[in-house]
Amino acid sequence: MKSWLKQSRASGLDDLELADFSDTGRSVRTLQRFDEGEKILTIPHGVLWTVKHAYADPFLGPALLSTRPPLSVDDTLATYILFVRSCGSGYDGLRSHVAALPASYTSSVFFAEAELEVCAGTSLYTTTKQLDRQIEDDYKALVERLFRRHQELFPRDKFTIEDYKWALCTVWSRAMDFKLPDGDSTRLLAPFADMLNHSPEAKQCHVYDGFSGNLSVLAGKNYGSGDQLFINYGPLPNNRLLRLYGFVVPGNRNESYDLQKQKLWLSSGLDSTSTISLTLTDPLPRSVLRYLRIQRLNESDLAIIAAHQSDAAVEKISDSNEVEVLGFLIESIFDLLDGFGTQLVKLEEQLVEGFYSPGGNAWSAAHVSLGEQRVLRLTRKTTEDLLATVESGSGNERGLLSAPPQCAKCEKVSVQLMRCGRCNKVTYCGRACQVAHYKEHKAMCQATASGIGSERN
Ligand X SMILES: C[S@@+](CC[C@H](N)C(=O)[O-])C[C@H]1O[C@@H](n2cnc3c(N)ncnc32)[C@H](O)[C@@H]1O
Residues that bind ligand X (CB under 6 A): 24-27, 102, 173-174, 194-198, 245-247
Output 50 or 197, the one with its CB closest to ligand X: 197
Question: Is the CB of 252 or the CB of 383 nearer to ligand X?
Answer: 252
β-pairing verdict for 25-30 and 215-218: unpaired
Between CA 323 and CA 328 the distance in angstroms is 8
Closest approach, Cβ 361 to ligand X, in A, equals: 12
Output 64 or 218, the one with its CB closest to ligand X. 218
CA angle 429, 434, 440 (to 5 degrees): 130
Residues 173, 197: contact at Cβ < 8 Å?
no
In single-letter form, the type of residue at position 410 comes to: C
User: Residue 25 CB, nearest distance to ligand X (Å)?
Assistant: 5
Smallest gap from Cβ 247 to ligand X, in A, equals 4
Secondary-structure percent of the chain, ordered helix, strand, coil, rounded to 5? 50, 15, 35
Residue 244 beta carbon to ligand X: minimum distance, rounded to whole angstroms: 8
Contacts of 448 (CB under 8 A, 6+ apart): 307, 308, 423, 424, 425
Of 170 and 434, the one with the shorter C-beta distance to ligand X is 170
Q: Pick the closer one to ligand X by CB: 127 or 197.
A: 197
Q: How far apart are CA 424 and CA 58, in angstroms?
A: 59
Query: CB 39 → ligand X: shortest distance, Å?
Result: 19
User: Which lies closer to ligand X via its Cβ, residue 198 or residue 367?
Assistant: 198
174 vs 380 by CB, closer to ligand X: 174
CB of 198 to ligand X, least distance (A): 4
Spatial neighbors of 403 by CB under 8 A, at least 6 apart, are none
CB of 246 to ligand X, least distance (A): 5
Residue whose C-alpha is closest to residue 263's, from 337, 341, 345: 337
How many angstroms separate the most distant Cα atoms in the chain?
84
**Strand blocks (E) in 167-253:** 176-179, 185-188, 197-198, 206-208, 215-218, 228-231
Shortest distance in whole angstroms from residue 131 CB to ligand X: 16
E-strand stretches of 232-294: 256-260, 275-279
Distance between CA atoms of residues 373 and 351, nearest Å: 15
Q: Which is nearer to ligand X, 75 or 194 (CB)?
A: 194
Task: Give the long-range contacts of residues 446-455, CB within 8 A, separation 24 or more.
Answer: 447/307, 447/308, 447/309, 448/307, 448/308, 448/423, 448/424, 449/422, 449/423, 451/307, 452/423, 452/424
Of 105 and 428, which CB lies nearer to ligand X in the complex structure?
Answer: 105
User: Least distance from C-beta 201 to ligand X, angstroms?
Assistant: 10
User: Which CB, 194 or 255, lies closer to ligand X?
Assistant: 194
Least distance CB 159 / ligand X (angstroms): 22
